[in-house]
Amino acid sequence: MNTTSLAAWLMALSALALPPQTALRSPVPLTPPEQAVKNALQKLVAAEDAAVLTCNRTQLMAVFAPSAHHAMQEAFKREKYLSAWANARQVRFESVQVSIRTPGIRFAAHHRVHVFAVVSEQYRMQSRRSPRQSDTFGLGIRHDYVLESLNGQWRIQSDDFTDPLNQDTRVPGPVQPAAEGSSGQHKDSPGAVANPAVTYANHYCGAAPGCGNGGRYNPRYVDYNGEGGDCTNFISQALAAAGFRQTRAWEYSWRHGEGSPAWANARRFKEFMEDSGRATLLAHGSYAQLTSPSARFLQGAASALRPGDLISYHEQGRTVHTAIVVGFDRFGYPVVDTHTADRFRVPWDLGWDRHTLYDFWKVHYRAPKPGAVFTPAHPTRVSRAQAPS
């Protein structure tokens, strides 16, 4: 997978884009040839995703041009990973619904077109233990496609993207969760008071189905997609919305339109949260270690996660990602929201492999004053008296 061209696409589009509020009000209509390309791509992506879930190699190969060897191999890997993850977690994928936005379409020739597309996918999965139980989660992924026309039919010739289901080893953690009802897992409580950080995350998590704000990020902040990723910038925004005061180390500069290293970098953010006392390390380890009973966590450390807690992800000795826990799915599994790729209520380990290590962070929020109301439209309206130091 080559993200260089995708990053270049993103930076070029941002340079040409209208101000966010204008772009949301009046998107430029597609020309008839562009609309035809979008319609064809919608069908191709839907066919690809359905073939991946059903392990239909014939249908999957029909999506790609004969020369699209790399793109086909990546799709085969995604198929293998999802099948292995579902088996290990005792779930079954029932369906996937796809929609796309196409901010950039450029014809290179009558038979070749470059498309920058934001693909939104809603997956539905079913518990193998309790077949009547099912739930959904959403992914939003940015793609740089090249389509090729073969005998009058568009096919995918190449596909560069950053995908949460695109890990190198393709093998998820081996441990299956304990039987439902005995694992210490939780379900969302309808009467629970919403954590402002969680409310913010669900509203601004982006292109994943289920996110608010029309599937867009908060336009008041810079978007680091194409510049290393926006995951930690998003988490910092959520904590600021929950009332955490900015400091000289952890701040967002409105003047310069950028965050400090501790604001936007996964490793520096993790270090700042721990050193400042704003979060405490709950547990560290692999999926197997964090879901197995221990002296401290009789039902596994994952059972101790709560909405508003954070997860740091480590690959090959580097902190590469940050996610916020936003609740629990109907199977009692902790779910997260993220940017890059955009996620809405996705199982916390989906897309990561047996070599990934995780930090679970207990964030020390201050209880809101009685009667305090948080709305995503005004995420910074938190009084200083309420703001955690």
Lowest mean pLDDT among 136-150, 256-270, 315-329, 374-388: 374-388
Same domain, 203 and 135: no
pLDDT of residue 150: 93
Residues 153 and 8 in one domain: yes
Q: Are residues 207 and 346 in the same domain?
A: yes
Same domain (yes/no): 106, 211: no
The answer to whether position 384 is within a domain reads no
259, part of any domain: yes
> Same domain for 249 and 117?
no
- Same domain for 235 and 316, yes or no, is yes
Residues 336 and 248 in one domain: yes
Question: Quick one: 124 and 202 in the same domain?
Answer: no
pLDDT tens figures, 249-300 = 999 999 999 999 999 999 999 999 999 999 999 999 999 999 999 999 999 9
Question: pLDDT value at position 269?
Answer: 98
Average pLDDT, the chain: 86
Q: Give the domain CATH number at 21.
A: 3.10.450
- The reply to whether 21 and 135 lie within a common domain is yes
Q: Is 61 helix (H, G, I), strand (E, B) or coil?
A: helix
The rounded percent of the chain whose pLDDT value lies above 90 is 72
pLDDT, residue 293, reads: 95
The enclosing domain of 256 has a CATH number of 3.90.1720
135, two tokens: 């739930």
201: domain range?
A: 196-363
Is 129 part of a structural domain of the chain?
yes
pLDDT band at 366 (very low <50, low <70, confident <90, very high): confident
Contact 171, 181 (CB under 8 A): no
CA dist., res. 71 & res. 61, Å (int): 10
Residue 185 within any structural domain of the chain: no
Whether 389 is in a domain gets the answer: no
> What pLDDT sits at residue 21?
37
Closest C-alpha to 210, from 140, 119, 125, 127 = 140
pLDDT of residue 16: 35
pLDDT band, very low/low/confident/very high, at 26 (cuts 50, 70, 90): low
Let me know whether 214 and 153 are in one domain.
no
- Cβ(380)–Cβ(238) below 8 Å: no
Least confident of 10-24, 165-179, 347-361: 10-24
Q: How many domains does the chain have?
A: 2
| Per-residue confidence (pLDDT) for residue 228, from 0 to 100 | 83
pLDDT of residue 15: 36
**Residues 322 and 234 placed together within one structural domain of the fold:** yes
- For the whole model, what pTM was predicted? 0.87
**Which residues, including other chains, have CB under 8 Å from residue 388's CB and lie 6 or more apart?**
242, 243, 244, 245, 278, 364, 365, 366
Domain membership flag for residue 175? no
Statement to judge: residues 202 and 308 lie in one domain: yes
How far from the centroid of its chain's Cα atoms is residue 259's Cα?
A: 20
Q: Residue 330 domain-assigned? A: yes
pLDDT at 164: 65
What is d(CA 199, CA 241) in angstroms, rounded to the nearest whole number?
9
For residue 30, the model assigns a pLDDT of 93
